[in-house]
C-alpha cells in the first residue's frame, strides 16, 4: 500500500526496545531528558535503555537501576524502561535477584562495543544465564535475556536459552549468515525467540560508510554489511522472520568520534582501541522507514507490527487499553539538521529524503512512567 502526498496517516505510537541514553556516565553525549525528547519528536511513546553506560556507570546493580528510575521520573519525556546488565568477567550473583524485578530484562554483552565490553562465549555466560532464569522462577513473568553477540556465539547462546523454555531476544541482526541462524531459531521456538534489525542496517551498506558518511558518522557495532547482507535482511524483515525494528540510538559527540578516528583509523574493534560505535537518529526513523513503504520494500502493516505489536509481545506489555497514536503527514522532504533533537549530532540521516513528517502524538504518553516486563503500557 502506497500513500498519496499530503495524506494523513494514524499509527500506534512506536516502542523502541533498544536505546542508549548514556545517563549517568555520559551526559555530554545524551541524557534521559534529551534522548526521550528526541524519541518523542520521532513519534515514540516508550523507550528502553541499555545498561552499558560509560565511565564506570554500567547498570550492574539494583542501586544503579534505582538511580536511573529517579532521574527518569523527573526528566523523561516518554514512558521508559531499563535493562539490567552483568559484568561477565566478575559477575555479582547476589545482585541478579535484586535487579530482575526492577528491570525489563537482562542484556548480555558477549562482544565488544561501547563501554569496553569484551568477547565472551557461552561457557562464560552460562552461570549468569542460569542464575537469571532461577531468579525469574519466582516472578509472575519472565524478563527476557537480550544478546549482543557475534554470529556463532549468538545462535549457540540463544539455542541454550530456548532449550530451557525461556524468552531470548537477539539484537541488531546484521549479516546474511545471521539471517540463517534466526530462521533456525524461529523454527525451534516461535513463542520465546525474537530478533531485531536497525534502520541503518536496512538502509546502508559498508561502502556507504567508506564513501558517503565516513567513519566519523557511520562506525558502528555490528558494522554495516555488504549488499548481499542488506538484501537478505530486507527480505527477512519484510517477511517477519526478523520481527522487531529497534533504533539502537547510540549518541556520541563529534569530538569523540574525531578522537576515535584519529587514534583508531582502521575501526579496530579490539577492547584496547578507542571506539565510539553507533549513530543517533531516532527522530528520523519514521520518515526513513516510510520511504521503504513508498518503494514497496515493506508494507505499512509490517512496519507497524515491527514498531508496536512485536516489541509489546517481546516485553509482555499489556497494550489492551493503549491509546497513544502518532500522526504522520506523507510526502517527500529533506531531513534537516535543525530537526535533530538529540544532544549528539552523529546522525547520518541528515540530508536524506524521508517520506513522512511526524505531525502530532497523542495521548497516553505518561511521561516518566517506568515500564518493566509485563507492565501496562
Residue 263 lies in a domain: yes
pLDDT digits (tens, 9 = 90+) for 276-322: 778 899 999 999 999 999 999 999 999 999 999 999 999 999 999 99
Output the nine-digit C-alpha cell for 162. Answer: 530456548
Q: Is the pLDDT of residue 103 over 70?
A: yes
Relative orientation angle of helices 151-162 and 122-136, to the nearest 10 degrees: 30
Q: Please give the C-alpha separations between residue 25 and each of 52, 57, 59, in angstroms, as whole numbers.
A: 10, 5, 11
Is 255 inside a domain boundary?
yes
Q: Does residue 273 surpass a pLDDT of 50? A: no
Q: Which of 326, 319, 314, 234 is nearest to 17 (CA)?
A: 314
Q: For residue 143, what is the DSSP state?
A: P
Cell 516510510, residue located: 290
Q: Is residue 377, in this structure, part of any structural domain at all?
A: no
Residue 76 lies in a domain: yes
Domain with residue 315: its CATH number is 3.20.20.140
The verdict on residue 376 lying in a domain is: no
In a domain, 3, yes or no: no
2 lies in some domain = no
Question: Does pLDDT of 65 surpass 50?
Answer: yes
pLDDT of residue 104: 98
- What are 363's three cell numbers? 495521548
pLDDT tens, residue by residue, 74-87: 999 999 999 999 99
Q: 362 with 325: CB under 8 angstroms?
A: yes
Instruction: Please provide the DSSP assignment of 264-306 as one string.
Output: -TT---STTS--------GGGHHHHHHHHHHTTSS-HHHHHII
Give the residue numbers spanning the domain of 294. 8-371
In a domain, 36, yes or no: yes
Predicted confidence at residue 346, as pLDDT, reads 85
d(CA 59, CA 65): 6
Split into its structural domains, the chain has a count of 1
Is residue 222 reached through a cis peptide bond, with omega within 30 degrees of 0 on the bond before it?
A: yes
Mean pLDDT computed over every residue of the chain: 90
Reported pTM: 0.94
Integer CA distances (angstroms), 244 to 14, 89, 148, in order: 11, 30, 15
Amino acid at each position: 500500500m502506497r500513500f498519496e502526498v499530503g495524506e494523513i496517516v494514524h499509527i500506534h505510537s512506536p516502542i523502541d526496545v533498544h536505546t542508549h541514553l548514556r545517563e549517568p556516565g555520559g551526559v555530554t553525549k545524551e541524557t534521559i531528558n534529551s534522548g526521550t525528547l528526541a524519541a518523542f519528536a520521532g513519534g515514540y511513546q516508550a523507550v528502553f535503555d541499555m545498561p552499558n553506560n560509560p565511565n564506570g556507570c554500567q547498570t550492574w546493580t539494583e542501586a544503579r537501576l534505582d538511580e536511573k528510575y529517579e532521574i527518569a521520573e523527573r526528566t523523561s519525556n516518554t514512558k521508559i524502561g531499563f535493562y539490567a546488565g552483568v559484568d561477565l568477567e566478575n559477575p555479582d550473583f547476589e545482585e541478579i535477584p535484586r535487579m530482575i524485578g526492577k528491570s525489563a530484562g537482562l542484556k548480555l554483552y558477549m562482544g565488544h562495543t561501547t563501554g569496553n565490553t569484551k568477547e565472551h562465549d557461552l561457557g562464560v555466560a552460562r552461570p549468569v544465564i542460569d542464575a537469571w532464569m532461577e531468579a525469574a522462577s519466582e516472578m509472575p513473568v519472565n524478563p527476557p535475556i537480550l544478546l549482543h553477540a557475534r554470529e556463532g556465539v549468538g545462535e549457540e547462546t540463544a539455542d541454550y536459552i530456548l532449550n530451557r523454555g525461556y524468552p531470548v531476544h537477539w539484537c541488531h541482526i546484521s549479516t546474511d549468515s545471521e539471517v540463517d541462524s534466526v530462521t533456525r531459531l524461529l523454527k525451534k521456538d516461535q513463542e520465546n525467540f525474537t530478533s531485531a534489525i536497525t534502520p541503518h542496517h536496512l538502509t546502508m551498506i559498508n561502502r556507504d560508510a567508506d564513501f558517503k558518511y565516513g567513519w566519523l558518522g557511520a562506525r558502528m557495532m555490528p558494522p554495516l554489511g555488504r549488499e548481499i547482507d542488506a538484501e537478505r535482511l530486507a527480505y527477512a524483515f519484510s517477511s517477519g522472520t526478523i520481527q522487531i525494528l529497534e533504533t539502537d540510538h547510540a549518541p556520541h559527540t563529534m569530538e569523540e568520534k574525531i578522537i576515535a578516528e584519529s587514534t583508531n583509523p582502521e575501526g579496530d574493534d579490539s577492547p584496547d582501541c578507542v571506539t565510539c560505535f553507533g549513530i543517533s537518529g531516532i527522530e528520523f526513523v519514521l520518515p526513513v522507514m516510510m520511504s521503504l513503504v513508498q518503494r514497496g520494500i515493506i508494507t505499512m502493516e509490517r512496519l507497524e507490527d515491527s514498531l508496536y505489536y512485536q516489541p509489546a509481545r517481546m516485553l509482555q506489555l499489556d497494550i489492551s487499553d493503549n491509546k497513544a497514536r502518532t500522526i504522520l503527514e506523507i510526502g517527500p522532504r529533506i531531513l534537516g539538521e535543525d530537526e535533530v533533537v538529540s544532544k549528539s549530532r552523529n546522525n547520518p540521516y541528515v540530508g536524506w529524503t524521508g517520506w513522512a513528517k511526524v505531525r502530532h502524538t497523542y495521548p497516553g504518553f505518561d511521561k516518566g512512567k517506568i515500564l518493566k516486563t509485563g507492565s501496562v503500557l
